[in-house]
Structure 1
Amino acid sequence: MINPSADNQVSGSRPRRFRWLAGLVSLMLICILLAGYWFVNSQSGLQWTFSVVHRLSSGAIHFAGVQGTLHDLRIENIHFSGDEFELQGQNIRIVWNPGKLFYKQIAIDQLIAETLRIHHLASAEDTPRGTLPESLNLPLALSIHALTIDSMYLTTVENKNAEPIITNLALALESDGHTHQLKSLNFYTPWGSVTASAEFNGSSPFDLSAQIDLSGVDSWGDAQMVITGSLERMKIQASMVQSTSVGDLQLQLHPFADNPVAQLDANIEQLNPASFIAAAPQASLSLSAHFAQNNSGQLEGKVRIKNHEAAPYDAGGLPLSLFSTQAWITSESLKLQDIDVQMDGDGLLRGDLIWLWNERSGSADIWVERLNPHHIDSRLQAAQVSGKIQWSGNAQAQSARIHLQDKSVNLAAVIARSGENVALEQLNLQRNQSQFTGRGKLALGHEQLFELSGQLTNFNIADFVRTADSKLNVALYLSGQLSPHVSGALKYTIQNSRLAKFPVSGSGEIAFNGLSAFDGKAELKAGSNHLVAQGSMGAKGNAFHLHLKAPDLAQLGFGLAGDLQANVNLTGSFDAPDLDLKLASTRLYLPDNRSVSGVTVDANLHNEAISLEASIEHYDAHEKIAIKKLMIDTQGKISNHILSVKAQINENITFRLAAAGGVSPKKTLQSLRWTGQFTEIATTGKMPVRLLSPAAFSVSAQSISLGQARFSISDGFANIDQLHWSPRDWKTQGDFSGIALLPGSQQVSNQSPLQLGGHWNFVSTQQLMGNLKIFQEQGDWYLPGEVPQPLGMKKLQLMVIAERGKLISEFNLFSQSIGSVTADLTMPIKQSDSSWSISRESALHGKVNVDINTFNWLNALLDGSTSAEGQIQAHVDIQGTLQQPDFSGTVSGSKLSVVLLDQGINLQQGTMTARFHQTDLKIDRLHFVTPHEVPPDKRLFGDFESDDMRGSLTITGDIGLAGNESRMNFTIHQLPLAHKAEYWVIASGSGEIRFQHRRLNVKGDLWADAGLLLQPPEGRPELAEDIVFVNAPEQPEQNLSLLLNMSLNLGERFHIRVAGLEGRLTGQLQMQSDENNKLKLNGTIAAQDTSFKAYGQNLSLKRGIVSFQGPLDDPELNILALRENLAVEAGVEIMGSVRYPRVKLISTPDVPDTEKLSWIVLGRKPDASGLDTSVLLAAAGSILGGQSGGGITEKISAALGVDEISFRQAGIGSSLTGQIGVVGKRLSSRAYLSYERGLTAATMGITKLTYNLTPKLTIVTQAGEDSAADLFYTIQFD
């Protein structure tokens, strides 16, 4: 029987038990959720998590400054310590999505680290060779959207303070666990910037592909590397392109094999070692290396290096011409056989070398053949030495033997090392009678004890170096120790010696202990020069004296000359010395063409009181005066003194400096530092500079610092906020404002000059970082002239930025009168010691844009007869290197015009398109249009039709901008060549112009479409021929050679109206010139439909031919002019040449010359009474008087029985005016009778009788228009 009550009891207790269990589970879930929330979203939970990580790693990982949440956490410092390295990260931020872990993904949005330091620990055991892994798959997918590290340091035990090796690293990575993709990797190093991408398969055989680009490297230029294959067998292809060199590399690697390099092929052309190391010699090397593994697993190949520009070391070159060898490389040894080194000249070095890596031992045997030292260094004497060089050794002992000789030279040396002892067992150098022998030893222990002895016997320096002859006999002994500081003893004797022609002697025995103690005596005599130094220093009461008397330093050679005297007295110790120094020189010549004169130095130091007075009259460098006067004065104590410097640079520039400060007397020499302040700094000149307030300054061997300083510069100011320098780094910061730039001394007071402002901030450590900005504040720039013209400057700015191993500059200019100019240029920079420089092989990247909208500014510089206008746009790309820049670009112009008033040229509506590369400017088209003006007489050109009443000029070709050849073609079409009152010409044609090496070659064909030559205006003011300019500037010599070959066709519309000649000219001329600029003309000009008007009469030109057959100034003449339609048609015929014309009168029918002349002038027979004589004589003189030989006037004079018939201008004070005719007859040797009459006035004239009483005394009587009697006394001046 079923008990219902029992069932109900059971069923009632079960729900209560499950409710309790459900409540417990719910409570646990709530706790877990609360813990998860606390873990994920609270800072305390995050810190607890990282403390657990720290404990689980047994302290290997340490976290400090943990903040934020798990989604966005910040850690000030992470430090990890391992067996081989330590890692430290600072200021790290991680933004990621932890929820992606449930999907087996790690998704990092940002991972930022300010600094990452990796410190490599020294390992006592060699790192075993790695093995190929089985798998590189990840258990989770990984995504890093952006990982950035500002600075990454790699340090070692030896170098704990290294500069950052990587900066500005940026990385993006994606992986599904099997395929890993490096989307991008960018970072900067001191050697350049790196960009990379890669893809890698995590499963065997681990296929991979990658590309790495390196740019901004001065030495290598731009390089690219492509990696393909797998992790087990990898192939690398690399190439580099520099401005002067190119190279490529192919490499096959087996990273996990005994010999990881399977094959190597490298080729580099035109490699310059100086591109890598500034102190390295210049060379142009071709390098090739080809290696492959042989059957024995050895890497076998050949290396060959050829120098295309071999030169001696002293010329900055590398004397090696060729190096080649056969090489075998394994993990155990390096073996070089058939070493072949060819030096510049015929010198050879041949041999073999072997090195065992594990045993650290090896040997080399080198045979030398015909080696000429002069080809190694041109300062050495020539020789032909041959012999052998041997070396062998291991980690404990090494030895080297050298034996070289020729007919007169012998060099033998033996060097051996055993443990910590190095011995120069033998050194013997001999040539002719010169001999040097020596021995020495050095202990490499703690104190580094050394000992050296040498002997010069009849040693002539000129046997080895190109210098004056000498004969030296010297014994030398030196011993001591190098650590903890250099100390020891020196003993020498010089006797029976000479230098050049001057005797040399001396002796000395000196003991020294670093720079803190000295004791002994040294003496040297060379010719008339004498040096004595004796005494001791280092303890209280010691005294040291030095006396130098050198009246003729040229006796010593070494590029010195002049005189020098010095006296030095030093007492006490080096820590607290007393010093008296006097030095003087009237003239001192130094090497490299430098000299100084008027040198005096007087210095004293006693009980910390210091006094210094020094002056120099002149300092010349390379025959130019660099300093005219220099004076230095210091007074006070070592710890507190005043320094004054005054210098006269030239006539207009002076420099003054005053400072107050001192040096702590208790410091050692190595740690001395001068600390004080500048109280005055001032210079005069075009931009005067003046220090406005004292500025703190300190200087030592390790650093230079300048505090805040304010300067007045050219009506403005400059502030130096910070300036600090040390051998490792330097930094400077400041600003300036109101600095005026003046274009010249001719300035008007109401002009506001251009004023500049700006600021700078630079920091140099491992990288140079900073910027400089210069900009226009106010004012304007004025072009020079009687009335200075402003350029309307609205913007002028220069910005220079240094970052990431590059120097980036930007320039902007905007002017209302010119236009705008923008430019930018990027140049890599490199560090040398503590300075930064731009390598000559640095790659340049830049561009320039020029937009000129007017040429009004140019017209202000030209004379009033010349003007230009238009717009020019230019774009320039800058590539190449600083040594060989590569310029290219385009130039375009519009609305161009050129007006030359004196030449009557008016070029308008010009357009231009051009392009250039390097020094070649190619004009694609330069086109001008020239409007025609109305001709002076339209009736002459009624049938002439021009194209739209305008002409054109078109130019194409190439222009050499740096002395290279220029070649241009020109075409003119109905171009007005001149528009003036004298002539009007419309011409067409084409030709070519070439220019190179100061030789101008012009050829072409021109023809006149229309032309008119007019009579030039009379009455122009001109200087008389007897006026001579005194102190006139010499005209520069013209070295231009003109080669001309032009043809000119006058056409059918070329008219002339000159001096009564009116008509039309035709013909063709060929103009040529030779290299001596001698012009020749060939061709003929003929007159057509031409008449000649003289004395109111028109003569018809029946024949008018001018023929040129060479010289320009002496053409042949064939001219016939007649007066027609009269009973007697008379005229003039001119034959011969311009220099020697033959003029005669002709008529039909033939009549006497006097009657011919009357028919020409009067149109009738001459009057029988002789009243026409004066008119006929005037006509004969003007028409016929210019010919050579017996002319018509002479015939008329002879026919009339007189001695003179002439025409001239009436003299000052004469009663006759204008042109007068003179008829004269000599009555005797002393008496002369003449009749003068005006040609244009109806007067009776004057009859004169001139009688010479003596050679100097003359009486003149006259009657007629003006009666008088005069007595003249003649005085002649040479």
Structure 2
Amino acid sequence: MTKATVPPSKHPPAPDPLLPPKSTRDVGGAHFFPRMLSVILTPMLIATLLVVAVLIGISFESGTKFIWKSAVWLSQQQLSGELTGGTLTQGARLKNVVYRDATQQFLVDKIDASWQLTFSPLKFSVSHLHFGTVEAWTKPKPSEPMTLPTDLTLPLALSLENITLDKLVMRQGRNTTELRNLVLHGQSDRIQHKLVVERLDSAFGSVNATLHLQGEAPFAISGGAELQSAYAQEKYQIDAKVSGTLSALNLAINGNGNGNKLCAIANIAATPFAPIPFQRIQLSASHLNPKLFSPGAPFADMNIQADLVPISSLLTTNPADNKVTHNVDLSTLAVSGPLHITNAIPGGIDKDRLPLISAHAELRLDAKNQQLSSLQIKLVNNGTISGAGEYYIGGKEKNVSKFNLEVAGLDLHALHGQLQPTQLRGPVKLTLTPDTQEITLKLADKNFLAKLEAVLDPKKITLRLLQLTTGSALLETSGNIIRVGEMAFSLKGKLRNVDPALWLKIAYPDGTTSNKSDTVSKPASTYINMDINAVGKLTPALALKLKFNVLDSVYANLPMTGNGNINILGKRLLPSDAHLSMAGNNIQLNGSFGASGDRLNINIDAAQLQRPGFGLSGALHLDGQVTGSMQRPTLKASYSAKKLAFGSYQIDSLSGLADIQTDLSAKLSAAANRLQLSIEARGYHSPGIALTKLNANLGGTFDSHALYLESVGNVREKSLALTLAAQGKLIDSATGYGWQGTLSALKNQGVPRIVLETPLLISVAADKVVLGATRLMISDAVIDLKSLKIDHDRIQSAGAINGLKVNTILELIHVFTGNIPSLKTNLILDSSWNLGLSDIASGFFEIKRRSGDLRINAGHGDTALGLSELHLRTDLQGTQVNLNAALVAARIGSANAQVQLGLIHMGNRLTIANNAALSGTIKASVPQLKTVGRLIGPQVGLDGSLTMDLRLAGKLAQPTFSGAVNGDNLALTLYDQGIKLRNGIAHITLEKNIIALQKLEFQGGNGTLSTSGKVQLGNTNPDLTATIVADRLQLFASPDR
């Protein structure tokens, strides 16, 4: 049965008459407040939950890790790294942090920070922030004008303490800058900023600096910096002071060093945000050596003078302080002045000298142009470069530079001794635009011609032509390198009738004539014809296809042949083949390397090494094979040589084997890492060394191998019969590879006699050395080493040396340096130590005389000092060194000293520095000056007695002396001059390096000589204020004087 359905009515149902009517006012009132409350509370609740979530996230380690992982995820692989601990509220610890984008990349191996944010007052405080090694890569960017900031205030106060960085490596293009050991602190109240660099080590030396900056316009700035460094025995220091504002800086720079010879002064009024970055430069430098600032630079003794002054009359200078008064429109400013450079010791580059004699030019700079005019450069052997140049800041040729130079009398042999003499002359033109750099050069003399045409633009480098010709000889190359994308390149070159001796000084052996009756040999003939073609790309991995073909050629009167195809892709050498035969010497290469199954064969058969004329002579033969991949390379080779010589180094015969198998993907201890090396040499000769035999064998695995060495001969005319044996293994530590093992045998039956009585445990790694206990005899001395541990800058050691003959040390100095000490002695010393040096110092080091004496030759035979006591003890306590020394010698007298020296913290270690605090006392007594006279020489006679009692204070580099020196019955005789003074009295006092001559009086004949006054110690030019009175003085003892 179906149910009937009633269709819905189109009209609303009628109200129920039994119910009260609904009030429209009650409908809104019943739900208005709940709805309003819901609207208000819901966002507040969500905000509260978010705040709570953030607080939990930043206050707990788990939350901080979640935030870090979220940041890494949101960075879309630009950021990576591991958060190892900490929170955002107290500080964090991270490692292996990497950030990279299209233009830059940063790698940080570790970050350790502790900080705190306070709200009353609002301040962010960093108690410590340590970075390990930071590596940065950035792509070069076109320089843009700097813009003066409008505000440098901070939103909150800042306190930075103990900010350190171990190492920073910055790479931009091919330029690399490395900084180390940064230590700094700073603070800011939002407006006043202060930064103090306590230490920063660079290639130029160690820097410290202080900077104060106002955060509101005009941004007042003040501060100073100091750079200290040294090269060899030459030290230098540069001090800089800055004042003014960011837009108008005053820089004062002073440099000195090199035994007070180096002196540099610079005053610069800089305007870094103006079209001209300075308003005035005054520079004066003398005895400037470029090698002080870069070890690879040549030696020079340069004087530089420059004085660029304003042309505009609106700019005035205060003569009292050389500071510029900045009341000029910088857009109309122009500065000009001369630049003079001279070099007192010019020379060839091969002699590590700078071939510059002098350079002079006039400079003019304004807001539109920068001009270099009247350029005159003098080079060694009468070479000159003259010309002018201009840089256009505005106008049609905006940002274009043009230089037109003229070269004359250029002698390449004077620049480098291995080049042939020339007298080149001709034009050199440089044109630099924002998009291109173009250089053209054409230099020639009666024998040589050199041409260069090249253009550099943002997309490629085009070498249109590089050509060298002399006579019929031609060397020519051209090509291009793309500077974007994969940096593809293509180069072509050819050599026609080229003899290297036309350009280089090569000593070919004389050729032989066909007629045996000729007594004069003909010069060796050489002409090389070759085609070279190279194509490839530089990124993302090197790809190179190099093809060369030697055409009809002769080298040193013998045929020269060869050709080859070399194919490189990334780290793999693809199947390649090359062979070259030159002057009876052959080299052949065939195969591939870099992948599993690859095999590269190398064969060298050089029976006439003297013929190429490179200073090497003799015969060399090598057969080798390199197989496998970069991860699992294997080398097997055998070699032999006869009558091998290079300069003063010669060897009669040399032979050996090499068999090295490695698996870089496995641990060092893997059995696949094996090595076997052997060397057998006979008749080795070099300056000071002559070995009849040298045998060495190293064999085993990386994890367990043995070394045996045997050598017989003479070193500095001292017999040598040395044997050495060691066993050990390579180790892989966090800081790199190292070696750990045992020195089981060390014996020399020659001079000095050396015997290792007990095996020595050795562990060596980067910045870490550990030696175990051992007993070593050198001649009659016994070295009893208990331990030695060097861990970065921390040192711990204990041991003793008994019966050490000082003469044995002098012999070793002679053996290793070739220098023959003039001192003669039979002195025997004993020594002991037990010390530690890290962030605090502890322990002692002591030396005592056991027996013997020192002998000095003053011109009339050896004279013994008559030593009866010699004692030196150093105690290390915390951050101080206490030194006690005593000396008693019959011919001199006695002396003792107690000195305290402060230790300075340098990074994580203590060291002795020039600013270390110094204190102590020195006392000495010379009862018989007559005996001291024999130590000076036969021309001098002394008599009387002398006592000294001094107090030390100040710094190690600038000590101050106070105390007294007294002498009685003094006498001085200069026999060769006939001068004699007697009955002398000396009463001298010192007070902080000021010597006061209280009484200094001598008798000469029937008269007297007396002196009184003061002398200032420690000055380059001591200030002497003295009165000398001679009363009836008879100075000369001889009647004929």
The two structures have a TM-score, normalised by structure 2, of 0.62
Query: What amino acid does structure 1 have at the position aligned with 2:426?
Result: G
Matches within 5 A, 1:168-247: 168-169=183-184, 185=196, 187-190=198-201, 191-194=205-208, 196=210, 208=220, 210-218=222-230, 221-229=236-244, 233-242=248-257, 243-247=260-264
Contact 2:835 2:876 in 1 (8 A): no
Contact 2:896 2:924 in 1 (8 A): yes
Aligned residue in 2 for 1:737 = 799
SS of the equivalent of 1:792 reads strand
* Distance change >3 Å, CA 356–CA 888, structure 1 → 2: farther
Contact 2:567 2:576 in 1 (8 A): yes
Query: What amino acid does structure 1 have at the position aligned with 2:332?
Result: G
Matches within 5 A, 1:842-857: 851-853=923-925
Distance in 2 separating the partners of 1:332 and 1:436: 43
Structure 1 position 271, deviation (Å): 1.7
Structure 1 position 522, deviation (Å): 1.8
* Distance change >3 Å, CA 107–CA 524, structure 1 → 2: closer
Structure 1 position 377, deviation (Å): 1.9
* Distance change >3 Å, CA 298–CA 158, structure 1 → 2: same
SS of the equivalent of 2:381 reads coil
Aligned residue in 1 for 2:620 = 565
Contact 2:560 2:582 in 1 (8 A): yes
How many pairs were matched up?
Answer: 830
Matches within 5 A, 1:549-948: 549-550=606-607, 553-561=609-617, 563-570=618-625, 573=628, 575=632, 577=634, 579-585=636-642, 587-591=643-647, 593-603=648-658, 611-622=676-687, 624-625=688-689, 627=691, 629-636=693-700, 640-648=704-712, 650=715, 651=718, 653-660=720-727, 677-680=741-744, 682-684=746-748, 686=752, 688=754, 690=756, 692-693=758-759, 695=761, 708-714=771-777, 715-718=782-785, 733-740=795-802, 742-743=804-805, 753-757=829-833, 759=835, 775-776=845-846, 780=850, 782-783=852-853, 791-797=868-874, 813-815=885-887, 818-820=894-896, 851-853=923-925, 871=946, 873=948, 892=965, 894=967
Do structure 1's residue 348 and structure 2's residue 359 form an aligned pair? no
* Distance change >3 Å, CA 236–CA 694, structure 1 → 2: closer
Distance in 2 separating the partners of 1:121 and 1:464: 40
SS of the equivalent of 1:425 reads strand
Larger radius of gyration: 1
Distance in 2 separating the partners of 1:328 and 1:908: 70
Distance in 2 separating the partners of 1:547 and 1:680: 38
Q: Deviations over 1:920-964 (max 9, x none)?
A: x9999998999xxxxxxxxxxxxxxx99xxx999999x9xxxxxx
Query: What amino acid does structure 2 have at the position aligned with 1:509?
Result: G
Do structure 1's residue 452 and structure 2's residue 492 form an aligned pair? yes
Distance in 1 separating the partners of 2:807 and 2:982: 37
Distance in 1 separating the partners of 2:800 and 2:790: 22
Alignment counterpart, residue 426 of structure 2, candidates 387, 390, 394: 387
Alignment counterpart, residue 402 of structure 1, candidates 419, 438, 441: 441
Query: What amino acid does structure 1 have at the position aligned with 2:378?
Result: Q
Structure 1 position 826, deviation (Å): 12
* Distance change >3 Å, CA 289–CA 126, structure 1 → 2: closer
- Which stretches in structure 2 are left out of the alignment for 5+ residues? 1-54, 75-82, 313-330, 509-522, 662-671, 810-826, 856-862, 974-979, 1016-1027
Query: What amino acid does structure 1 have at the position aligned with 2:466?
Result: L
SS of the equivalent of 1:491 reads strand
Alignment counterpart, residue 335 of structure 2, candidates 300, 305, 314: 300
Structure 1 position 280, deviation (Å): 0.6
* Distance change >3 Å, CA 281–CA 543, structure 1 → 2: closer
Distance in 2 separating the partners of 1:283 and 1:876: 43
* Distance change >3 Å, CA 718–CA 446, structure 1 → 2: farther
Query: What amino acid does structure 1 have at the position aligned with 2:852?
Result: Y
Q: Deviations over 1:435-494 (max 9, x none)?
A: 333344444452644433221415251554364565222314242436424643343426
Structure 1 position 277, deviation (Å): 0.5
Query: What amino acid does structure 1 have at the position aligned with 2:566?
Result: A
Matches within 5 A, 1:1000-1019: 1004-1005=1036-1037
Distance in 2 separating the partners of 1:116 and 1:590: 48
Distance in 2 separating the partners of 1:300 and 1:536: 65
Structure 1 position 229, deviation (Å): 4.6
Distance in 2 separating the partners of 1:433 and 1:847: 77
Structure 1 position 162, deviation (Å): 9.0
Query: What amino acid does structure 2 have at the position aligned with 1:533?
Result: Q
Aligned residue in 1 for 2:18 = none
Structure 1 position 710, deviation (Å): 3.9
- Which stretches in structure 1 are left out of the alignment for 5+ residues? 1-42, 68-72, 725-729, 763-768, 832-836, 901-905, 931-945, 959-970, 974-987, 992-1003, 1006-1045, 1048-1069, 1072-1278
Contact 1:251 1:265 in 2 (8 A): yes
Distance in 2 separating the partners of 1:739 and 1:131: 67
* Distance change >3 Å, CA 855–CA 503, structure 1 → 2: farther
Query: What amino acid does structure 1 have at the position aligned with 2:269?
Result: Q
* Distance change >3 Å, CA 427–CA 226, structure 1 → 2: closer
Structure 1 position 682, deviation (Å): 2.0
Query: What amino acid does structure 2 have at the position aligned with 1:796?
Result: R
Query: What amino acid does structure 2 have at the position aligned with 1:599?
Result: L
Contact 1:312 1:376 in 2 (8 A): yes
Q: Deviations over 1:74-114 (max 9, x none)?
A: 656799x9x9999999544679996xx6xxxx999x97434
Distance in 1 separating the partners of 2:256 and 2:427: 41
Query: What amino acid does structure 2 have at the position aligned with 1:813?
Result: A
Contact 1:151 1:169 in 2 (8 A): no
Distance in 1 separating the partners of 2:410 and 2:877: 52
Matches within 5 A, 1:57-456: 75=91, 91-92=113-114, 112-115=127-130, 130=147, 149-151=163-165, 167-169=182-184, 185=196, 187-190=198-201, 191-194=205-208, 196=210, 208=220, 210-218=222-230, 221-229=236-244, 233-242=248-257, 243-254=260-271, 257-292=274-309, 297=332, 299-302=334-337, 303-329=339-365, 335-354=371-390, 362-392=401-431, 394=433, 397-417=436-456, 420-444=459-483, 445-446=485-486, 448-456=488-496
* Distance change >3 Å, CA 491–CA 132, structure 1 → 2: closer
Structure 1 position 590, deviation (Å): 1.6
Aligned residue in 1 for 2:977 = none
The two structures have a TM-score, normalised by structure 1, of 0.52
Query: What amino acid does structure 2 have at the position aligned with 1:284?
Result: D
Query: What amino acid does structure 2 have at the position aligned with 1:261?
Result: F
Q: Deviations over 1:1207-1242 (max 9, x none)?
A: xxxxxxxxxxxxxxxxxxxxxxxxxxxxxxxxxxxx
Contact 1:680 1:691 in 2 (8 A): no
Structure 1 position 616, deviation (Å): 2.8
* Distance change >3 Å, CA 167–CA 787, structure 1 → 2: closer
Alignment counterpart, residue 546 of structure 2, candidates 464, 489, 504: 489
Percent identity over the alignment? 11
* Distance change >3 Å, CA 493–CA 862, structure 1 → 2: same
Distance in 2 separating the partners of 1:579 and 1:148: 54
